[in-house]
Chains A and B, each alone.
Chain A
Amino acid sequence: MSFLELRDITKRYGTLNAVSDVTLSVEKGEFVSLLGPSGCGKTTTLQMIAGFVEATSGSIRLDGRDITHAKANSRGLGIVFQSYALFPHMTVFDNVSFGLEMQRVPKAERKDRVDEALGLVHLSPYAGRYPRELSGGQRQRVALARAIVIRPPVLLLDEPLSNLDAKLREAMQFELRDIQRKVGTTTVMVTHDQAEAFSISDRVVVMEAGRITQIDQPYRIYEHPETEFISRFVGKTNLLPGTVQAINGLAASVSLAGIPVEIDAGGLVSGETVTLCVRPEKLRLIAAGQGRLPGRVAERYFLGSQWLYHIDGPLGTLMAVTPNDGSAPLETGVPVGVDWNPSVVRVHRGRLAEAPDPTLEAQ
């Protein structure tokens, strides 16, 4: 049995289901992220684990104990809040010591453990400061130290890095993972930032409209998104609508606006409408006249380590990303050929209901 188990958790507000039938098992020591856009129910799920929101139905078990209806202050979980929620009238030391005090840990031991936790987050010299005298990143570390010092069975992180600037956020990601590995605490993180979720999680839980749509390892979610929503929400993707023309054994021929493309048959039937998903970095830009599709460079964007091209062609505009190998990029207006390896194409059955929403990817 898993260490932390959510079974059919539902939270209803009036007629609205904020979270519907969420079932999730987290193993001891695992780092799991709940990923999804705003309003997908990920924070409500976290709050139900924390005990701030009571589940309408379903059960939550922690280490074999049913905590579905236990009060927040009896669960003993370590929580890092999005706003950090430090106690502004207490010093860093007192903030970190608070949870131990509540557990009636003897004073001498308390001091040792607070010192140890502050050392872990590199804040030992700041023990006597008040939170308002610290920078955002330092406050974040205090919040983390405060949560891990009580040695919680589960660490809950609610958008822990969203208030930091980009550079600090990246540094803190790795540090967070490093600390989590050192203390070995089972961790559940909520985030809307896929890069954050992918880089440090063992498994990612993608949520959409109150439901879990996929639970998998980060690279598998990226490479094998199970729904169109995920393929659009997670990273950038080219969605190519088409129709299955013929099945030839293991291969299927799909017509994309009249251009035939071979893909794996995988249970498709002739005449079926499908959407092919190809990630921009899987497209190869080659000499004009070659490859599967003709195209023309419409725009190019320099991303430092990569070039992002918008390629106009018979299927509309495609995004292609090529590594910056130091050579000069393609000029806009240049005709190119677009090619890809058949194994990188993901097939979704059915047609897209709407055009991809770029703001979803930006989030």
Chain B
Amino acid sequence: MSAAAPRFPTPLILSAPAALLFAALILTPLVLTALLSFNEFEHATGRTHGFTLDHYLAVLTDSYYLEIFLRTFRVAALATAICVVIGVPEAYILSRMGNPWRSVFLLVVLAPLLVSVVVRAFGWSMLLGPEGPINAALMALGFGRMRLLYSEGTVIVALVHVMLPFMVIPVWTSLQKLDPAVEQAALSFGASRGTAILRVVAPQILPGILSGSLIVFGLSASAFAIPGLLGGRRLKMVATIVYDQYLSDLNWPMGAAVAVLLLAANLIVMLTYHRVVEGHYRRRLG
């Protein structure tokens, strides 16, 4: 070693609090959950012990679970797609607004985050319930009562409502970084507004859309409150069966196995998506 005084490990020390927090509150429970998922479960006593892969086998071979996994990812994918379709233009329009309207509408976009998910879900169920205002309106117009609650569509709509800010904010951020002259350049070379947006603006905000959809997809696929309250007993999603396993069947290892599988599936989907989209644009945007 050289004679120079050892460098004070400032970066390490500065990142230590976050690292400790992360390790204690996220990694430890995750590891415990993963370990738990390999335990055997005795239905008679409720005790967990030993080592087994039975829970994983049960989940992976049972069409009941597979259907729930498929539904979860279908719902998450649809919610993400709708968030892109609504959120990207929304962010673009927001970025084009002048103050004070921009601040007002930004607040409106963020408003869903200010209300508890549970309260919002109950709000949706009152709105869409058999005696709710929407059904009342349908009755009044002579369409007859419709079953709106406890359907995939309702869960998706409610998820989109919750998730939209997570799409708008990253897209908005990447729009902020855009040189407004670039769009003007496209216009000056004879592009229509639509062409300018499609060919020039959209490719540049792709990283924002990418991170927005990753957040929305991840949160939607593991969402619990919305499917739990608006999907009801019939429309199960992965997070709700984890809950059921833990709290109704008291089969913690089974619940843990489902949770680990959800995490793994989520990771695979998101990493693949990230690779495909970002790989495509890495060289161009650097």
Contacts and interface: CB of A to CB of B under 8 A. Distances in A.
A76 interface: yes
A77 B188 CA distance: 7
How many interface residues does chain B have, given as a range?
A: 20 to 34
Given A88-B204, A88-B284, A88-B285, A73 B181 contact: no
B279 interface: no
Interface string A66-78: 0000011111111
Given A102-B190, A102-B195, A103-B190, A81 B286 contact: no
B204 A52 contact: no
Among B189, B195, B203, B204, chain A packs the most CB atoms within 10 A around the CB of: B189
B198 interface: no
Interface in B188-241: 188-193, 195-196, 199-200, 203-204
A82 interface: yes
B258 to A, nearest CB: 41
B281 interface: yes
Interface residues of A, number: 29
Interface in A297-334: none
Interface string B260-286: 000000000000000000000101111
Contacts of A146: 185, 189
A75 B190 CA distance: 8
A99 B190 contact: yes
A74 B196 CA distance: 14
Contact of B185 (A76, A79, A103): A79
Nearest to A104: B190
Contacts of B283: 130
B182 interface: yes
A89 B185 contact: no
A72 B188 contact: yes
B176 interface: no
Given A83-B181, A88-B284, A132-B286, A73 B200 contact: no
A344 interface: no
A79 B203 CA distance: 22
Contacts of A82: 181
A81 B284 CA distance: 21
B204 A81 contact: no
B179 interface: yes
17 contacts: A50-B184, A50-B188, A51-B188, A52-B184, A71-B187, A72-B187, A73-B188, A73-B189, A78-B188, A81-B185, A83-B179, A83-B181, A98-B199, A99-B189, A102-B195, A132-B285, A150-B189
Interface of A: 50-52, 71-79, 81-83, 85-90, 98-99, 102-103, 130, 132, 146, 150
Interface of B: 179, 181-182, 184-193, 195-196, 199-200, 203-204, 281, 283-286
Given A86-B185, A89-B204, A102-B189, 10 more contacts: A50-B184, A51-B188, A52-B187, A74-B190, A82-B181, A83-B179, A85-B182, A98-B186, A146-B185, A150-B189
